[in-house]
Every structure is written in structure tokens, then in C-alpha cells.
Amino acid sequence: MMTEVRSTDSVTIIEKDSVNGSECSTHRNSKHEAPKVGEYEAISGPIGYNSFPNDPDFAALVRDVEVALDSGLKPQLSPKGTSGCYFVKDKNQKIIAVFKPKDEEPYGKLNPKWTKWMHKLCCPCCFGRSCLVPNQGYLSEAGASLVDEKLGLGVVPKTKVVRLASETFNYSAIDRAKARTKRNIYNRVPIVGKHFNRIGLPPKTGSFQLFVNGFKDADYWLRRFDNEALPESTAKKFQLLFERVVVLDYIIRNTDRGNDNWLIKYEPASTKPLSPNQNDEDEEWSVVDNPEIAVAAIDNGLAFPYKHPDEWRAYPYHWAWLPQAKVPFSKEIQDLLLHNLEDSNFVQDLCDDILELFSHDKGFDRPTFEKQIAVMRGQIHNLIEALKKQMSPVDLVKMPVLTLHRRRHTIGRTRADSDNFMRSEPRRTPFFSWC
């Protein structure tokens, strides 16, 4: 299916195009054509454009998906949402991940949901978010996962930037025509065709989030919990998980956390026979399984604003209306976070990791990035205070927001950490505070 030809300074990868049976080649000159910033180039495996040397498990999953796509398996476009959101599968048709290509985001040039596009055109004040960097939702998705992992929250399904190609994705007519023409040339005049860098549709860059099984929209379970109270230990566990979603959203200043954008898995207590061979008379030997509860914060593409919302809409955190938001932050979350958040080196490391991630985008702009980080540092500042004083999430969202901009250092002077940042507080309040 695939041949890899190596020479001293270049790698040529020939892949079989499953849809048309033709071959597709990727040629790279490793000495002279280093991957450019802004393009996640193939540096790795024989099929893939993706390399995750520090995360072999994730790399293996991405590879399973690449193999499935290569064999013609089609991803499934999610009917929900405002953009291209695809469920990608392995060769056994098992959904592995949710892939959102950058160019199919609400502001992407190839967004397949044209009705949403009309909405954007006709009603921009309800659609756009002027506080966000446009068309970088995939980075926000991956950034949320990075923050989650770094803080040990464990509520965001692992998300990274990946490049994938499939007939199912939305391509421009030109891209499709180019791919057809190249394929024809390759088939008819292979000697010419083999000089093409790539045959087949171009891979799309996007966020690749692991799919979590057995979860439903939080909205569904929250309504059920209103009527049937959770057992005490499960309610306690849920409260701790809820706090983690709050912390994540607050730090990344998520502007889209409706109760349809986080998921809950709940398996009520059940009884089952001690052994599969048991008969009805042995019922007293049944054991009771503890109820299981888990949460997943998905759809994190509208976070990391470069300023606090200050015009039309407030983009509130919808969890702030839940009863769980009135409960003071727990000792557990204090212990998990405070020592890290108060450590300026830890926070700087976090910012550096986000910089490394975001700087790969073609539209990356350093001054805008600094503003995004200033918002995040302001959020962390408030969160530290709220955790220390054991305030509740409701109290946290009522705190006046601020941004912390790094000052330029004067050479030769050592400053106290508090002197390193310039604090500012936005004055205008949004017109709509409930949406």
C-alpha cells in the first residue's frame, strides 16, 4: 500500500489513494525545506502528516484514523453546531475523535453550514465574538486541553492539532479539480506525476479531540438530577468535577459554555449477580455497584479572548445558574491548584506552552497573543483569590475582571513579582448580560 524511499537529504512517501486507487506521494527535502511556521508538515510516519513523539498513545490513535481514512472510510459530519465538526473513525468504524478543521470554523472560508453563514452575515452582533481572535478555534480547543492537562483537571478529552484529508471534508472546487488533474497526470504520465509534492486532496489542519463514550449533554442529566437527587457520595464527586469545569472555563475565559457544551456520564447504582452462573435463588448474593459519574468539557473553541467581553454580550458561564455554583470551592481543588497557580514559574511555563501551540498558526500575531495572556493572567489572579477565600463559583464570576500585562523589564533592576505586571480593568459593561 505504501512505499517509502529515503535518500540522504530527502524523504519521499508514496501513498495509495484509496478512493481512486491511484498513488499519492509526499516529498520532503529535509535539509533545505524545513517545515514552515504555520504549517504542520509531515515529519513522521509513513502515512501521516502528524508526529507526536512524546505521546505514543495519542500518535497511535491518530494513525488508526489515518489508516481508516486512507482506506476510504468516511468521517461523519455532525448535524449539530455552526461549523465543520466530524466524527472520525478507525478501520473498525469505531468513533475515535472529533475533528474540526480550521478552514471550516464559523469564520473559516469553507464552513459547510451555509445557513449559519447567512446568520453570521445577517445578524453579526449575535454571531461573532469581537473579543476572540477569529478563525483560531482549533487552537482554543487544543489550548483548553493543554491547560487542563497542565493543571491536572482531567475534564477535557485530550485535544491536539492534527492534519487530516478526506473526500468528506469541505474543499473548494479548485482544490478538488487540482487533485483530480494531478491524479490523472500521475496515472497517464507517471514520470511527470512523480514530481508532484502531493497527489490527492490537501490535508486540513484542525483540532482532534478524543471521543468519549457513554456521555450525554450536561443539560440532559442536570434536568434529571433536578427530579432525582444523586446519592450523597455521587453528588460530592459531581461537585468536585463541576469545580474543575468552572476552573477551566474561568482561566481560559470560555465564551461558549452552555450546558450543551459539556457532557456528563452517569451510571446509577446497579445490582448484578456475583457470578455469571448464579441462579435466581442466589439473589441475596448480588453486589451493588457504586454509581459512576464523570464529566467532559468539550467544544472549547471559543475561548482565550484578547480582551474581556465589553460590547454587546457578556457571554456568561451558564453553569453559574446551577445550584452547584453556590457551593464554596472545596479543599480538594485548593490543594490541587493553589501551589501551582501561585508559582510564577509554573504560570510562565503554562504561558510558554500556549505560545508554542498558538505560534504555529499562519495568522499568529505576537501583540494579540500578549493580550490573550494578559486576560488569562487576570483570570488566574482572581481565581487564586477566590480559592484562598473559599468563595463559590458564583462569587468568582461576580469579581471585577482585570488584565495583567507584562511590563518591559529595566535591565539591571530586580523587581518583586507583583511589579512585573501592569493591571487594568475594563470599564464598559455589556448590553446583554444573559447571553
Ligand X SMILES: Nc1ncnc2c1ncn2[C@@H]1O[C@H](COP(=O)(O)OP(=O)(O)OP(=O)(O)O)[C@@H](O)[C@H]1O
The residue ranges that bind ligand X (CB under 6 A) are 78, 80-83, 85, 98, 157, 209, 211-212, 215, 217, 260-261, 298-299, 301
- For ligand X, which is the closer residue by CB, 108 or 378? 108
Output the smallest distance, CB 109 to ligand X, in A: 17
Output the smallest distance, CB 261 to Mg ion, in A: 5
- For Mg ion, which is the closer residue by CB, 18 or 111? 111
Alpha helices in 71-203 (DSSP H): 114-122, 124-127, 137-151, 173-188, 190-193
Length of the chain: 435
User: Residue 333 is placed in which grid cell?
Assistant: 481543588
Output the smallest distance, CB 24 to Mg ion, in A: 33
Which of Mg ion, ligand X, none does residue 24 bind to, with CB < 5 to 8 Å depending on kind? none
- For ligand X, which is the closer residue by CB, 65 or 351? 65
Q: Which residues inside 96-125 make contact with Mg ion, applying CB under 5 A? A: none
Output the smallest distance, CB 225 to ligand X, in A: 18
Output the smallest distance, CB 216 to ligand X, in A: 8
- For ligand X, which is the closer residue by CB, 20 or 255? 255
Output the smallest distance, CB 52 to ligand X, in A: 18
Q: What are the phi and psi torsion angles at 98 (to 5°)?
A: -110, 120
Q: Which of 103, 15, 26 is nearest to 66 (CA)?
A: 15
Which of ligand X, Mg ion, none does residue 78 bind to, with CB < 5 to 8 Å depending on kind? ligand X
331-341 vs 344-358: helix crossing angle, rounded to 10: 80
Output the smallest distance, CB 86 to ligand X, in A: 10
At residue 139's C-alpha, the angle toward residues 93 and 153, to 5°, is 80
- For Mg ion, which is the closer residue by CB, 75 or 301? 301
Which of Mg ion, ligand X, none does residue 98 bind to, with CB < 5 to 8 Å depending on kind? ligand X
User: Residue 155 is placed in which grid cell?
Assistant: 475534564
SS3 162: strand
Of 157-165, 291-299, 318-326, 423-431: span binding Mg ion (CB under 5 A): 291-299
Q: Which residues inside 294-313 make contact with Mg ion, applying CB under 5 A? A: 299
Asked if residues 257 and 393 have their Cβ atoms less than 8 Å apart, the reply is no
Q: Which residues inside 230-289 make contact with Mg ion, applying CB under 5 A? A: 261
Output the smallest distance, CB 260 to Mg ion, in A: 6
Asked if residues 34 and 9 have their Cβ atoms less than 8 Å apart, the reply is no
Which of ligand X, Mg ion, none does residue 420 bind to, with CB < 5 to 8 Å depending on kind? none
Q: Residue 109 and residue 117: Cα distance in Å, rounded?
A: 10
- For ligand X, which is the closer residue by CB, 209 or 392? 209
DSSP state of 153: -
Which of ligand X, Mg ion, none does residue 83 bind to, with CB < 5 to 8 Å depending on kind? ligand X
Q: How many Cβ atoms are within 10 Å of 118's Cβ, its own excluded?
A: 11
Residue number with the shortest CB distance to ligand X? 81
- For Mg ion, which is the closer residue by CB, 205 or 209? 209
Output the smallest distance, CB 299 to Mg ion, in A: 4
Which of Mg ion, ligand X, none does residue 85 bind to, with CB < 5 to 8 Å depending on kind? ligand X
Q: Residue 177 and residue 20: Cα distance in Å, rounded?
A: 14
- For Mg ion, which is the closer residue by CB, 117 or 364? 117
| Side-chain-facing half-sphere of 310: CA atoms under 13 Å | 12
Which of ligand X, Mg ion, none does residue 75 bind to, with CB < 5 to 8 Å depending on kind? none
Output the smallest distance, CB 16 to ligand X, in A: 30
| Side-chain-facing half-sphere of 46: CA atoms under 13 Å | 11
- For Mg ion, which is the closer residue by CB, 203 or 301? 301
Q: Residue 124 and residue 130: Cα distance in Å, rounded?
A: 10
Q: Residue 26 and residue 295: Cα distance in Å, rounded?
A: 40
User: Residue 311 is placed in which grid cell?
Assistant: 460590547
Q: Residue 241 and residue 256: Cα distance in Å, rounded?
A: 19
Strands ordered across the beta sheet of 95-101:
76-77, 86-89, 95-101, 204-210, 159-164
- For ligand X, which is the closer residue by CB, 83 or 372? 83
Q: Which residues inside 385-414 make contact with Mg ion, applying CB under 5 A? A: none
Which residues pair with residue 166 across a beta bridge? none
Please report, as ranges, the residues that interact with Mg ion according to CB under 5 A. 261, 299
